[in-house]
Amino acid sequence: MRARLPLLAQSFASRSIWPVGIDLVLFTSFLACAYGFVALARYWWGAPVPAATISQSPWALPLYAGYSLARIIAAYLLSLVFAIAYGYTAAKHSRVEPVLIAILDILQSIPVLSFLPGVMLAMISLFPSRQLGIEFGSIVLIFTGQVWNMAFSFYSSMKAIPRELYEVTAIFGYSPWQRFRQLELPYGAIGLLWNSMVSVAGGWFFLMACEMFVLGDRDFRLPGLGSFLQTAASAGDISGILWGLAAMIVIIVLIDQLVWRPLIAWSDKFKFEQVETIGQATNPVLKLVRRSRLASFAGRALQKTSGRLVAPFSKPAQVRSTGVKRGARTAGYVIAAAVLLLAAFAVSRAFLLLAGIPAGEWRSTFKDAGFTFMRVNAALLIAAAWTIPAGVAIGFNPRLARLAQPLAQIAASVPATALFPVLLLALVRVGGGIGIASILLMLLGTQWYILFNVIAGALAIPGEFKEVGIVFNFTRGQRWRTIILPGIFPYLVTGLVTASGGAWNASIVAEYFHLKGQTFAAQGLGAQISSATDAGRFDLLLLSTLVMASVVIFTNRLVWRRLYRVAESRYRLET
């Protein structure tokens, strides 16, 4: 009995002290985030500083990293809300679905720099005497580089939900909100999570273009890692590039360990399968958070608050009055009319801008589109050749996933434009030039869309399907034809669509680059858009953007839309 007392005391101490330690860490982290938010709000609400002086000292990197991380997080939260709302609306309303998907095709094909003039001028006019206008303009630009693949992912997940699951929700009288919370959002969680990772990586990739740019005779420079790397790259400062990349990699690793890995383990419960998979995904950080009493209290409070907020929407569909439906329909008509009026005004202004462009510039723009089209498809084919087998291997092997996922996250997040000076100089020496370098830069910026979507598709394949292949002793070819390719096909299409749009987007930095006072440009639409932005030629910028969007939409209609229909009709997971 005496021997057992120390063990009992040690067990009691470990159960009582350990959760308190976790609570203290979480509470301290919350206070640090709250202080950072207050300091950031004070800076954003101050007087505008459009052309900040960018220090090249490594000691400035922690502050710059904090600024950039805040912009990335704000843009991601905005992207997440938009992607869920847009994907849900497009999937649930067949009348507006073609229009919404067409608009999404157009928006995801427009490069970041094409949004730049309108976004920055609009934000500065909204907040003329505050730094908030310039900062929010940068956040919206990062948003335009993050959101489209997330919206496509959630839309394709919604379209792939088995019909029998919808029948179950109808039998139990679920309201639209209950069906969304308990079926639709969980079903799309895995694809949305992996696309969130590649979206944040895309935000880091375009950070250099979103924090430091020239608009006509106006120079915009915001303190951040993107501006630090852009300044170092323009000056050919290799040590500055390495310091900036090191700081960025540290942030990416911390985000991977503290955010993405716990979320991946948590999302494993949303896999659609009829038998329990052996060896569920676990994560030590997730275990610690679950043991925290502070986190449990915050979770219960959040659940109670959200329950009160959504209570009016949780009534069964047949209980809601026709007046509510009529009011929603009227509001929809009003919004549609306002959108049409804005579109008519925008079209009229666009015609006035395009009318003054000479015929020679029209011909050269279409010629440039052909060059960029070939580069984009070359990058897409090279990316698909290695990302499909690699993504399946990572998704099927948990040990390999634990090793490869953070490495892929780091590689996807490192801005290739920071490495572009070294790559470009090396290719120029061997006679390759910027033409080949631009394809490599597109590849570095777009291959991750395919890889992360294939990983998500491989993870979402039910465990019983894999066991069938083992039981019937399928060969490798049979396993690929009957299990793997049909299982990952909807995710693969989403990855190819977003990678294609990302390659067009990356052309603005791949085909036009400043290095040590010299400009390297390859013939293409991306170079034309970048040069038009530098020169303040809004008419040529508009023409190039419209041609690029038209080519992307044409490709989507001929190829990607048909593949989406095949994924929806032939490869939907049903029993």
- The whole-number average pLDDT for the span 538-542 is 82
Q: Which residues, other chains included, contact 289 with Cβ-Cβ below 8 Å and sequence gap of 6+?
A: 22, 26, 262, 295
pLDDT digits (tens, 9 = 90+) for 156-214: 888 878 888 888 888 888 888 888 888 888 888 888 888 888 788 778 777 777 787 66
pLDDT digits (tens, 9 = 90+) for 480-529: 888 888 888 888 888 888 788 778 877 877 788 766 667 777 888 888 88
pLDDT digits (tens, 9 = 90+) for 3-58: 444 444 444 444 445 566 666 777 777 777 777 788 887 888 877 777 777 888 88
Q: Is the pLDDT of residue 299 over 90?
A: no
Whole-angstrom Cα distance, residue 151 to residue 88? 9
Query: What predicted TM-score, i.e. pTM, was given to this entire model?
Result: 0.72
CA atoms within 13 A on the CB side of 221: 11
Write down the number of H helices and E strands in the chain. 27, 4
First to last CA, the chain: 58
Q: Is the pLDDT of residue 382 over 90?
A: yes
What are the angstrom distances between the C-alpha of 427 and each of 230, 249, 414?
A: 20, 26, 20
Beta-bridge partners for 518: 515
Q: Is the pLDDT of residue 341 over 90?
A: no
pLDDT digits (tens, 9 = 90+) for 86-124: 989 888 887 888 878 878 877 776 766 667 667 777 777
573 Rama sector, left if φ>0, alpha if ψ -120 to 50, beta otherwise = beta
Quick one: which H or E segment has residue 521? Answer: strand 518-521
pLDDT at residue 418 in the model: 61
Residues in the chain: 575
| Cα angle, residue 71 at apex, residues 79 and 29 outer, rounded to 5° | 100
Q: Which domains does the chain have, with CATH numbers?
A: 49-282+357-570 (1.10.3720.10)
Of the candidates 91, 79, 200, the one whose C-alpha atom is nearest the C-alpha of residue 148 is: 79
pLDDT at residue 319 in the model: 47
